[in-house]
Chain A
């Protein structure tokens, strides 16, 4: 019969229409601003800079190595290195970013900066309501706006943040052990040098550049 197929199709539509009142499977939309689907843990929207401790400027993990700036596909990151150094989380003096800007309108949320960062300093935020009426200043976020605490990072990506913290703690322990061993070696050497000052004066000279642990030990 002509029209049978159409009627069969309409029956399917009716089933879906009626079903949308009862089944969540058939009605997946929500009324957005009032009702919200919780953001999932893996979500990535826009990068932020992680800092440890209470002060964002002192605790910033970023050391302005500029790898993310180079690797960023749309080149939305702008970094200026600082002239001076300040101690990082291991206590080693490091350069920090004097300027760190990310352009919201250029960023394409690809997460490449997070992957290439060797210092776990840049991570992805899950906040997606980034629209603003200020087209110039509002869309260019500087390092103060980008800085978010490690606690915040734990809140939005708990599993990933725990892994990162474990990795950082391991690294810190390793570098501390290394610094300690180096300091002990330096102390032992100094003691040896003090014990026999006369012949060491000529022989120690070429080995002198190989004592960088000394400033590290002093910084502790």
Chain B
């Protein structure tokens, strides 16, 4: 459970001396102030509300209120064909449509027993890791925006993200709503020019990560505001079902790419960064390091990507009816474990369709992280969870 270096994980060093632990005191004489706060604008994380009870500046109670962005995703998917819910999965976590596609395709492939060609497997890994890089870059950008760095780091992250989104657009036709993966492969075969462009973009990412890190790693403001804030103990994280960078920042070595061996991840060499303290700073650094590991995976995958078809020749586009049964497909999405649980009764649409969204489950322990901190820090702790409300409310 501790964050010691193991064969697959490694822990990170940090400059000490900036910790500000939360103050948990018995309630004072004064009256509590109840405030409804949260990002209310879709351009931030989404529409969300926290009912916070304040004793002065200190948070003594916090209740997250979900559901403002509920779009009936699961019921729609149960009423429509398997293929037709693929574009809806793009709209769950709209930062990472490629990984959403993959998780859904994986669940359906398990259900129908389809094979994925070699080239498609490589493409999936490449696209998932590109997604991870752009998601982590922009989530760090948002975190710093919430720290008060009004826009500058976020725009640097978005500038880099744009290059990756251009790749997605060149391949799938859409920047964010890619709708690229299919049951038994991928929709379009990338040209050699696209792969060359990807190699070029990937070669430029380390420079950006270095720059981004130099920009912020030693900044006193970041350390003062992030170290010792919103601590999430590893045990609580495991009990709450938290996954992804949040869990690994608390020192728990759990990465589905390593645990589940889905796709072809066991062919690549990469390490899993682990945090020691489980605070905002660790979560921030874990994302930084994961970006570097993703670059490593991308370089290996782009070197080895084979030729051949990208779709299983037996795959059916129309009249797709998997045999009756149930399947759970899960992947390590940038935000955590993204799973799709499907029950088929042999018909053209799933009998039950359930999404296990990492954002929602990571958000459920928000109160435990926020108690005893100031209101201003609640915003930061919320930002460090890295959520997208499209996925929380579905």
What residues of chain A have their CB less than 8 Å away from a CB belonging to chain B?
2-6, 8-9, 12-13, 16, 25-26, 28, 40, 42-44, 67, 70-73, 108-112, 115-116, 118, 124
Contacts and interface: CB of A to CB of B under 8 A. Distances in A.
Given A6-B221, A44-B173, A115-B187, A28 B159 contact: yes
Given A42-B188, A115-B187, A118-B318, 7 more contacts: A4-B220, A44-B174, A73-B85, A73-B87, A111-B179, A112-B87, A115-B317
Nearest to B80: A73
A42 B169 contact: yes
Nearest to A27: B159
Contacts of B187: 115
A109 B171 CA distance: 15
A211 B188 CA distance: 41
Interface residues of B, number: 38
Contacts of B80: 73
Contacts of A109: 174, 177
A7 to B, nearest CB: 9
A5 B170 contact: no
Contact of A40 (B159, B169, B217): B169
Interface string B158-174: 01001100000111111
Contact of A73 (B88, B215, B318): B88
B177 A3 contact: no
Contacts of B211: 12
Nearest to B168: A42
B169 A43 contact: yes
Contacts of A115: 83, 187, 317
Interface in B191-211: 204, 211
Contacts of B318: 67, 71, 116, 118
Closest 8 A-B residue pairs measured CB to CB?
A5-B218, A110-B87, A44-B173, A73-B84, A5-B219, A12-B215, A42-B173, A9-B215
B219 A9 contact: yes
A12 B84 contact: no
B156 interface: yes
Contacts of B171: 42
B44 interface: no
Interface of B: 80-81, 83-88, 90, 152, 156, 159, 162-163, 169-174, 177, 179, 187-188, 204, 211, 214-223, 317-318
Contacts, number: 82
A112 to B, nearest CB: 6
Contacts of A8: 214-215, 218-219
Given A40-B169, A42-B171, A71 B83 contact: yes
B159 A6 contact: no
A82 B218 CA distance: 70
B84 A112 contact: yes
Given A12-B215, A26-B159, A28-B162, A108 B87 contact: yes
A218 to B, nearest CB: 31
Given A12-B211, A40-B170, A67-B318, A110 B177 contact: yes
A43 B173 contact: yes
Contacts of B217: 5
Contacts of A3: 220
Given A12-B211, A111-B179, A116-B318, A71 B84 contact: yes
A112 B318 CA distance: 10
A123 to B, nearest CB: 11
A116 B319 CA distance: 10
B222 to A, nearest CB: 8
Nearest to B163: A28
A6 B220 contact: yes
Contacts of B83: 71, 112, 115-116
A12 B219 CA distance: 12
